[in-house]
Amino acid sequence: QKEVEQNSGPLSVPEGAIASLNCTYSDRGSQSFFWYRQYSGKSPELIMFIYSNGDKEDGRFTAQLNKASQYVSLLIRDSQPSDSATYLCAAGRYKLIFGTGTRLQVFP
């Protein structure tokens, strides 16, 4: 059974802090890795994608991939209350497996 695992949270961080979200995956054949943000009652919104080992930065977001450890992370710098949402990690090759998501709460 191919799985993607995330801590369900909630992860609570103060405004302006760095939020660190983590994800592990079981399928070593996975080639693509994605982070989606989902607000309650809304559809998932693509935040970051990464294909190669290392870091990828886009604005306040950094995705990190370590294929040897089968580990993906998302860092959110200068967290804002509007970042409060559930963050879904997804991994796969020809189809995506989603993790159950980590609920992030950013308090003022």
Query: Which is closer to another protein, CB of 19 or CB of 48?
Result: 48
DSSP letter, residue 94: S
DSSP 95: S
DSSP 9-48: --EEEETTSPEEEEEEES-TT--EEEEEEE-TTS--EEEE
Stretch that binds another protein, among 11-19, 34-42, 61-69, 72-80 (CB under 8 A): 34-42
Q: Which one among 34, 37, 72, 87 touches another protein, defined by CB under 8 A? A: 34
**Least gap, CB of 86 to another protein (angstroms):** 9
Pick 32 or 80: Cβ nearer another protein: 32
Q: Residue 21, class by beta-carbon neighbours within 10 Å (0-12 exposed, 13-18 middle, 19+ buried)?
A: buried
CA dist 108 and 100 (Å) reads 26
Among positions 14, 16, 26, 45, the unique one binding another protein when judged by CB under 8 A:
45
Binding site for another protein (CB under 8 A): 31-32, 34, 36, 42-46, 49, 88, 92-96, 98-101
